[in-house]
């Protein structure tokens, strides 16, 4: 059955909120990002983009390109508050809403025509309500699948509304440059071009097997997209109750120094995912499976929710050293539960070790920034 999917993406989100909160910034090149010259731009207003400033560009470079720019610090709590407002509005239009990032969501409105009007009318109505209730503009794409809806929302930014109807899909794909595929990096684009593939439609000449051979797992996705077989569904937001990372060892061991390193690495992964999801947790659990397949898990609840690599890692390592191991270990992992959103108040200055925590927070922030820029595998803390 043909579906109708909407993709909504707010325009210059962080920068637009800053302008909303300070009308003297209207029409000016506003750049939101980190505080030091080593940090990067989160986003820039469309005025600033004209100078060549864009997300992920180092701040010092943005300053070179746009010396008259107004540089502001990220105010995540405020952006989250607005994001919630937007998501609440969107949820009035369909029970099937999938928020994908702070400023973006998919809606499945298949079969809503009778109740809410044509897809275009629904989109206009959403834009109008977001405008009235938040003072911000968004861009919406409408298409028969998620991939094309996302591509469409990006086509007429800002304040855009783009519709790709079912009978336009083929023509659209045959003209769509491959670099517009979400998730396609420079290297893949080069690889594709090297094979004479410039448009998504050009991929049709290749079988699924050929594409997999050349591009790995992503090849199968490329085949789907080119042949209009993006069946991925709009998935409801699930509440995350706990985050974990675990792994089976290459061989069973009782080597505590080695296990300690593994625990630290799992803790690092969990903490990074917590920060990425904007969550903090209070209970740290160490899970162990022994060589006879018996399992054990030990937990420790700390006084305040955390997303710090060091705190989670230290707690898990403490649990590891608490009691002697009764057998060799086959699998080990770390989980964090009792989660809450990072923004939900906790007065850090109530704690004596505020400075230590603040220092760790900065270390984590720097690590995260490097991970985002160069890929997760690049760095591991030199601990353990
Ligand atoms: P985007 O929707 O990619 O960008 P945008 O909303 O600022 O601009 P556009 O009009 O092109 O949609 O991202 C949403 C927010 O996420 C953005 O305002 C800031 C943040 N962000 C970062 O912090 N770092 C990044 O590298 C990107 C791409 C976004
Ligand atoms: Mg956006």
Atom of ligand 1 nearest to the CA of 74: 23
**Residues of each domain in the chain carrying CATH 1.10.150.20:** 170-226
Cα gap 251→372, rounded to integer Å: 32
Q: Are strands 30-33 and 161-163 parallel, antiparallel or unpaired?
A: unpaired
CATH 3.30.1490.100 intervals, the chain: 242-368
Query: What percent of the chain shows pLDDT beyond 70?
Result: 90
CATH homologous superfamily for the domain 242-368: DNA polymerase, Y-family, little finger domain (3.30.1490.100)
pTM of the model: 0.68
Q: Which CATH architecture has domain 170-226?
A: Orthogonal Bundle (1.10)
DSSP notation for 200-233? GGGGGGS-HHHHHHHHTHHHHHHHHHHTT-----
Contacts of 49 (CB under 8 A, 6+ apart): 12
**Is 365 designated active site?**
no
Structure tokens at 227: 């042949």
Residue 329 CA to ligand 1 centre (angstroms): 44
Helix (H) or strand (E) holding 143: strand 138-143
Ligand 1 proximal residues by C-beta, below 6 Å: 9-14, 42-43, 55-56, 102-104, 157-158
Can you give the pLDDT at residue 37? 63
Whether pLDDT at 129 is above 90: yes
Q: Which ligand is nearest to the CA of 43?
A: 1
Q: What are the φ/ψ torsions at residue 249 (nearest 5 degrees)?
A: -75, 155
Q: Provide the β-strand partners of residue 40.
A: 58
Q: How far is the CA of 213 from the centre of ligand 1 (A)?
A: 33
Say if residue 160's pLDDT is above 90: yes
pLDDT band for position 239 (cuts 50, 70, 90) = low
Distance 382 CA to ligand 2 centre (A): 36
């Amino acid at each position: 059955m043909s579906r109708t999917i909407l993709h909504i993406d707010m325009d210059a989100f962080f920068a637009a909120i800053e302008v909303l909160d300070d009308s003297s910034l209207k029409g000016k090149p506003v750049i939101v990002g980190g505080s030091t010259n080593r940090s990067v731009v989160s986003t820039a207003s469309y005025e600033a983009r004209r100078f060549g400033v864009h997300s992920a560009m180092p701040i010092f470079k943005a300053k070179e390109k746009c010396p008259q720019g107004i540089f502001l610090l990220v105010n995540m709590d405020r952006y989250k508050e607005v994001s919630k407002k937007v998501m609440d509005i969107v949820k009035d239009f369909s029970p099937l809403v999938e928020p994908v990032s702070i400023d973006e969501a998919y809606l499945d409105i298949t079969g809503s025509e009778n109740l809410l009007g044509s897809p275009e009318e629904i989109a206009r109505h959403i834009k109008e309500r977001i405008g009235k209730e938040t003072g911000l503009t968004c861009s919406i794409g409408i298409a028969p699948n998620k991939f094309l809806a996302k591509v469409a929302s990006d086509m007429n930014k800002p304040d855009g509304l783009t519709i790709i109807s079912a009978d336009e899909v083929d023509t659209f794909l045959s003209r769509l440059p491959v670099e517009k595929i979400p998730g396609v990096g420079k290297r893949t684009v080069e690889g594709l071009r090297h094979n004479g593939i410039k448009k998504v439609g050009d991929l049709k000449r290749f079988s699924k097997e050929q594409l997999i051979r050349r591009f790995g797992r992503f090849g199968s996705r490329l085949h789907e997209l080119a042949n209009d077989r993006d069946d991925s569904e709009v998935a409801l937001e699930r509440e995350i109750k706990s985050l974990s990372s675990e792994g089976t060892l290459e061989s069973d061991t009782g080597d505590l120094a080695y296990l300690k390193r593994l625990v630290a690495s799992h803790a690092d992964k969990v903490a990074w995912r917590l920060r990425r999801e904007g969550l903090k947790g209070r209970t740290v659990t160490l899970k162990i499976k022994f060589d006879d397949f018996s399992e054990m898990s030990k937990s420790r609840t700390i006084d305040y929710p955390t997303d710090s690599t060091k705190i989670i890692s230290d707690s898990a390592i403490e649990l590891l050293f608490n009691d002697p191991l009764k057998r060799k270990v086959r699998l080990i992992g770390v989980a964090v539960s009792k989660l809450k959103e990072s923004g939900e108040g906790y007065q850090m200055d109530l704690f004596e070790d505020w400075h230590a925590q603040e220092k760790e927070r900065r270390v984590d922030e720097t690590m995260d920034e490097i991970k985002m820029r160069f890929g997760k595998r690049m760095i591991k803390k030199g601990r353990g």
